[in-house]
Structures are given as structure tokens and as C-alpha cells.
Amino acid sequence: MAAIKAFLIAGTHSGCGKTSVSLGIMASLARRGLHVQPFKCGPDFIDPGHHALACARGGQPVASHNLDGWMLASETNRDIFNRYAAGCDVAVAEGVMGLFDGISGTGDEGSTAQLAKILGLPVILVVDARSMARSAAALVSGYARFDPAVPIVGVVFNRVGGESHAELLREAMTLLPDVPVLGCLPRDESLAAPSRHLGLVTAGDDQEGPDRYQRLADWVDSGMDMDALLAGLPAVEAVPPFEPIPELGTVTIGVARDAAFCFYYEENLRLLREAGARLAEFSPIEDEHLPAGIQGLYLGGGYPELYSFELGQNTRLRREIREFCEAGHPVYAECGGFMYLMNDLATGRGRYAMAGVFPLRAEMDENHRALGYREISTRATTLLGPAGVTARGHEFHYSFIREGLDDPVLTPVYTMRGRKGVIDSPEGFVAGNTLGSYVHLHFGSCPSLAGAFVRACGGVTGGTSGEGADSGPGPLGPEPGWTG
């Protein structure tokens, strides 16, 4: 057993500065030479990318892993946490929304609080203290007493106006001696990461790069005693799950990975490798050909709308992907990847040709068109398994299908449910052996998905793709890492 320090950073509400505080704490601990393992609560692809760079060791990112009490079973969450926390010095999990916010107004399912209880992690509460003094203590009191099973071990006040404001906050908190003030962080709007639709700018597109994490670390160190924080935390046991050593991958799957396609759950990629897949990464923006020897494709989500011109200009790869799909090779595409497989994509800058696998047009809207958890069940056999497979994920996108849904060639195969029950909307489209959907599935919600997809890819015979393709495995990309 490995005893480590571990905690969960929660906020009172979205927008309280939870992500900035989390990144600052991660970066501060990492530059002390500690091995920091990050996690993200909830369905989010962007924050984990920032975590990975804030916790970098020797210049190498440390992959952050998603935890989710609604998409994943309690045991699955514990396995993910223990698998990656074991052997680290400190495990830091960033929460989602407000501490008690989840899928329901009356229960804790899908909330940060639920994960704190599942994992037995102490909670540090981030409070936006602007324009508050004694009222801040009343606010913290409500959070600390709302659910006694959620152990709030301290509070960090954010956006503090100055030392006199900090003194008032500390004085007010003497009324709550069981909730220590761990820090008062000064207001500094220059530290905020730039945002766009779907959330923060991705780590790869952040022009400030690693300097931002060091400035956040300086900010945290100016208002928090990190040594005292760690000393006051209880030790947590992280016992990695027993797993057999996976066999060497024998099926090669191409994974789209660049600025336009960067939204993948790390656990999805791990489960694919565990099921026998070798993952060959490629860029639909830059590469003219698919990796040689691939037997299937996984096109994840991201921002194809921001790179629609570049994607449209890469006619050679678009044609090759369409031919790959038409040849019957298994292709799984979700959200941005699904948009890329449509006929075209309309944005405010114009209309751009995509791969043309699905006779659909995607069009960007100014407001989100879907947002929330989703549970899908398949009505027919697909590359993810037989009819009746049920899995969970989420949906968050600003685009919508402008035209083509009445095409008789399309075959929607998902029955979909959201928070309020059945969603009467066509979803999960099949064209030959290609499955496309706006839903981001977490393979951990139904571990058979990964094995079914790998078996489907291994069962395809009669040629591969890529210039100079042969029957052998292609070059492998580097081992991997609520958004669209």
C-alpha cells in the first residue's frame, strides 16, 4: 500500500476561480519537486490538458484523468484514482461546478461532493470573497454543515481586495474554528486564462504557455502556506487495482490528434490499449495520409469549426478517410469527429467541405445546442457491440445538423436519455461500418465497448490505408492524454 497526500479542490459555484486556484496549487507543488498526479471531476476535456502541463515533470506532461459519479460506477472511480495516484507524492483533484451541484437538485449524483465521499478525499473549498466579509463565514458555514459526510478541511478565499480585506475574512472565520483559512489570494484578473465557446482555451492553444502556470504558482505561494497545507492533510492509501499485463497490441487504430481533435478521455485510450489496440496518432490538419497499416479509426471531439479552412484544404486526407469508411473499415467518431465526417461545416466565416461520409451539414450556432449527461442504448448491432449495449457519456456542442436528417440512407441506432428522461432526437448514425454521434461516451461506463471496437477493427480484412500501406502495423503516435 502507498500512503500519499490527496485532496479535492471544490468551489462554491462555477466561476469562483476554482480552476485558477487548482492550477496554481498543482504548479506550486510540482516545482517543489513533488510528483503531483492531477484528476478532474466531471465531463471535461479542457481542464485536464492544463493540469497535465501544470504538473509536468522533467518537461513531460502528467496526464490528468477524469472521475465522474454519474458516468462511472463507484468502483470504477476508485480504480482510476488508485491506478494513477499510487506512487505519486500528492494527488490533486479539481471539482466540477459548485461542490454540491450534479445531475439532480435533490441528490448528489454527478457532483464533486459525491466523489469526495466515494474516494474518501478531504475537500478544500474555494470561495470568491469579492464584496464579502462576515457574510463569507456564513456562506462557508452553510457548505460545511450541508452534508456532514463531506469533509471540508479548509477554505481558500479568492479575489481578496487587500490585506485589510483578508484580515476581516480571517476574523470572521474565527466563528468557524473547525474550518481553517488556508489562504487569501489577491484579486489579479491578469491571471485568468482566455476563454471561448465550450470553455477555456485549450492548453495547446494558450499563447502564454508554461509561463501562466508559473505565475499562478507565484500567486498561490503569495497567499498560501503550502507546507502547512500538506502537513495538515491526513494520509490517504492508494492501492492500485490488480490487473494482468496486457498483451502486445495486435490491432492498429488511427487516432485523430491535433488542435482540431483533442477531446479524449484518457481512460478510453487506456481501455483500447488494454483490449489489444496499438494507437497510431495522426493530424487531420497537417497529415496528407492516414498512418500505414491501420485497421480502424477513432475520431474524437474538439474544435473542427476553428480549423475548418485547414481541414477543408487537406483534400487528400479527406478523400482517403472517406474511401477508408466506404471500404468498410470500422470508424468511430464523436462530436467534432462526427462533424468532420459530414458533407460540410458552415461557420461564420463560410462553408467548408468535410469528409462526406454522412450526407449531413453541420452549422455553428451562437448558443449551445446541447448540454448535459447522456445515456445511450443501441437498437442494432454496431462496432461497439450487439444491440442493447448501454453506455453513459455527455453532450456539449454549439453546432447542429442543418440539413440531411431526412436522407433514407441514415440509420439512427441510439435510444438516448438525459436528466429528464428519453430525448426524442435521432442520434447514433451508421453509414456502412462507420458510427458517428454527438455524444462523448466514456468507455469506463461500459468496459465492453473498447473490446468490441478493437475486435471489429481486427475482423476487417482486405487492405489497409495510407500511402505505401501494407499488412503490418503502422508507426505509433506517442502514448496518450463538459466540451464538444
Give 296-345 pLDDT, tens digit per residue.
999 999 999 999 999 999 999 999 999 999 999 999 999 999 999 999 99
The answer to whether residue 473 is domain-embedded is no
Residue 414 and residue 439 share a domain? yes
Last residue of a domain, one of 171, 204, 238: 238
335 is catalytic: yes
Number of domains in the chain: 2
Same domain, 197 and 138: yes
The bridge status of strand 370-378 relative to strand 414-418 is antiparallel
Query: Does 218 lie in the same domain as 313?
Result: no
Predicted confidence band at 474 (pLDDT cuts at 50, 70, 90)? very low
Please identify, among 207, 238, 269, the residue that sits at the C-terminal boundary of a domain.
238
Q: Facing residues of 236 across strands?
A: 4
CATH code for the domain in which residue 116 is found:
3.40.50.300
pLDDT in tens, 376-426: 999 999 999 999 999 999 998 678 677 666 677 788 999 999 888 888 888
Q: Are 141 and 197 in a shared domain?
A: yes
User: How confident is the model over 342-367, as pLDDT tens digits?
Assistant: 999 989 889 999 999 999 988 877 66
Give the pTM: 0.89
Q: What is the mean pLDDT of residues 124-137?
A: 97
Q: Is residue 474 one of the residues assigned to a domain?
A: no
Residues 200 and 345 in one domain: no
The residue whose grid cell reads 495486435 is: 250
Mean pLDDT of 231-240: 90
Domain boundary among 238, 260, 276: 238
Same domain, 222 and 258: no
Higher-confidence position of 42 and 198: 42
Domain assignment of residue 477, yes or no: no
- Are 351 and 232 contained in the same domain? no
CA 235, CA 5: separation in Å to the nearest integer?
5
Among 64-78, 404-418, 461-475, the range scoring the smallest mean pLDDT is 461-475
CATH number of the domain encompassing residue 327 = 3.40.50.880
Q: Residue type at 351?
A: R
88 within some domain: yes
Q: Encode 126-165: b = buried (16+ Cβ within 10 Å), e = exposed.
A: bbbbeebeeebbebbeebbeebeebbbbbbbbbbbbeeeb
Q: Are residues 257 and 362 in the same domain?
A: yes
Is there a domain that residue 173 lies in?
Answer: yes
The neighbouring-strand residues paired with 57 are: 60
**Is 476 a member of any domain?**
no
CA–chain centroid gap for 91, Å, is 17
Of the candidates 55, 262, 335, 446, the residue annotated as catalytic is 335
Residue with grid cell 476508485, as numbered in its chain: 78
Cβ 481 vs Cβ 61: under 8 Å: yes
**How does pLDDT run across 178-220, given as a tens digit for each residue?**
999 999 999 998 887 666 555 677 777 766 777 899 999 999 9
Cβ pair 213, 54 in contact under 8 A: yes
Q: Which domain holds residue 142?
A: 2-238
Residues 233 and 255 both lie in one domain: no
pLDDT digits (tens, 9 = 90+) for 238-278: 988 887 776 678 899 999 999 999 999 999 999 999 999 99
Kindly state whether residues 225 and 365 are assigned to the same domain.
no
Q: Please count the CA atoms within 13 angstroms of the CA of 431 that sit on its side-chain side.
A: 26
Model confidence band, residue 465 (pLDDT cutoffs 50, 70, 90): very low
pLDDT at position 469 = 34
**β 199-200/195-196 pair status:** antiparallel
State whether 67 and 109 are in the same domain. Answer: yes
Residue carrying C-alpha cell 466540451: 483
Domain assignment present for residue 472? The answer is no
Domain annotation covers residue 482: no
Asked if residue 195 and residue 272 are part of one domain, the reply reads no
